[in-house]
Structure 1
Amino acid sequence: MPLVASCQKITHISDRGMAMQRLTEQILAHADGLPEGRPVAAKSLLHLGNRAAVDQALSRLAERGQLLRAGRGVYLLPVTSRFGVRAPSVELAVEAIAAQRGEVIVSSGAAAANRLGLTTQVPARSVYLTSGRSRKMRLGDQLVELRHAPRWQLALAHRPVGEAIRALAWLGPDRAETALRTLKGKLAPAAFNELAAAAPQLPTWLARNVGKVAHG
């Protein structure tokens, strides 16, 4: 290869490396300005470079541990404090991903039942229900599972009655009536009335039990 052509090739490779370094620095600066748990999405970085370059930069940052790859196309900035480096809060990350992707994401029925005192069983895994597709995310050492759920289980998602519906769905037909009687004493009357009003959205077995306890 002629000397001039060789020098030009080396210069081109050097320029490309510098451009990639500049892009990774810009991505890190962008990520550093986000609230804890907010995903770093390739589509929000296209003003910095083309999609292939952005994807390559994100992948490199994940390999270096400067970003966490939580799932396909989902990257998160680790949190650095005086206690060291940790993954973002699961709750904050899930809330941010739900907002970014326009999904409904809520805690699982097992977690809801535990919080409402309907079971002493503590979920062994972090499971959330979503209106989107089922998938898994890794936040540091913790695996978070997102399971697609039917619409009725996501009804009134972030209200106490929504949590009660998810708990009842998890408990199932055999335990629903007993659980509903417990809930009638735990929930505010307005909340239980809201549950009764939601009966048309529920499957037959649950609507029947709700009506029986509400009007019995």
Structure 2
Amino acid sequence: MQSNEYKIDKVIKSKPRGALVFPDDFTKIGSSESIRKALQRLENKGAIKRVAQGIYVRPKIDPYIGEVLPSAEEVATGIAKRDKIRLVPTGVYALNALGLSTQIPIKLVFLTDGAPREIKLSKRSIKLKKTTPKTLLAKGEISSLVIQALREIGKDKISAEEELKILALLKKENQKDLAHDLKLAPVWIRKIMQKAIQQ
């Protein structure tokens, strides 16, 4: 009979390198305790790397720098997919994602409809903050980021340069999504976003 470790290793090797692996992926193979031990043994052998508690990866290999671990952003996306939750980047991370800030946040903060928690990575962390369903109703990828970025900047604190950048980005957004998301934004943010439609 094949061991759980062998079966889990086989499943991991069938996935592309860089794909995140969670203990829940193997519930059909054995008990949670036996899966945990098998993953630990595979980690000790160097077959997989532990990215955070309960999150593993078979790293991509770069010819120059060797093993490449997933970014904090990729880990957050993987968690959202696994838990079937929605995530909206907020704060400094939203500003950075839009190119309005060069500051790379050590802590990525997301609003979510899932359980609030913090996931510690080696050098960065992911914080999930519970929010109201309305906050997550935005359809547009750009417009939802813009709403959060403007909240971070604050009312009456946006510079002319930042506003021009935001309007240029919003023009790339699907106009139907933008019109939908406008209704979800606070009045002062709506006034800025409307300019992208009027122009």
- TM-score w.r.t. the length of structure 2 is 0.73
Equivalent in the alignment of 1:80: 61
Structure 2's unaligned 5+ residue stretches are none
Q: Are positions 1:101 and 2:56 aligned together?
A: no
2: CA distance between counterparts of 1:92 and 1:211? 33
Q: Are positions 1:144 and 2:154 aligned together?
A: no
**Structure 1 residues 209, 92: closer, same or farther in 2, change over 3 A?**
closer
Amino acid at match of 1:135: E
Q: Of the two, which has the highest radius of gyration?
A: 1
2: CA distance between counterparts of 1:162 and 1:93? 20
More helix by share: 1
Q: Are positions 1:184 and 2:167 aligned together?
A: yes
- Count of aligned pairs: 191
**Structure 1 residues 195, 170: closer, same or farther in 2, change over 3 A?**
farther
Cα shift at 1:210 = 1.8
CA RMSD of aligned residues (A): 3.4
Cα shift at 1:143 = 2.3
Cα shift at 1:130 = 4.2
Match of 1:135 among 74, 94, 118: 118
Equivalent in the alignment of 2:190: 210
Q: What do the CA deviations read for 1:156-205 (whole angstroms, capped 9, x no partner)? A: 36621112112112212242585556533542186578546434433xxx
Q: Are positions 1:38 and 2:44 aligned together?
A: no
Decide whether the 8 Å contact of 2:117 with 2:129 is kept in 1.
yes
2: CA distance between counterparts of 1:106 and 1:160? 11
Decide whether the 8 Å contact of 2:52 with 2:120 is kept in 1.
yes
Cα shift at 1:213 = 6.6
Decide whether the 8 Å contact of 2:89 with 2:109 is kept in 1.
yes
2: CA distance between counterparts of 1:190 and 1:56? 47
Q: Are positions 1:29 and 2:10 aligned together?
A: yes
2: CA distance between counterparts of 1:77 and 1:169? 38
Decide whether the 8 Å contact of 2:107 with 2:125 is kept in 1.
yes
Q: Are positions 1:59 and 2:40 aligned together?
A: yes
2: CA distance between counterparts of 1:43 and 1:117? 36
2: CA distance between counterparts of 1:124 and 1:171? 15
Decide whether the 8 Å contact of 1:71 with 1:137 is kept in 2.
yes
Q: Are positions 1:114 and 2:96 aligned together?
A: yes
Match of 1:162 among 120, 144, 147: 144
Structure 1's unaligned 5+ residue stretches are 1-17
2: CA distance between counterparts of 1:46 and 1:117? 41
Of all paired residues, the percent bearing the same amino acid is 20
1: CA distance between counterparts of 2:154 and 2:135? 12
- TM-score w.r.t. the length of structure 1 is 0.68
Q: What do the CA deviations read for 1:123-159 (whole angstroms, capped 9, x no partner)? A: 2425141413221242xx4323233152455443662
1: CA distance between counterparts of 2:44 and 2:70? 18
Match of 1:47 among 28, 51, 73: 28
Decide whether the 8 Å contact of 1:127 with 1:145 is kept in 2.
yes
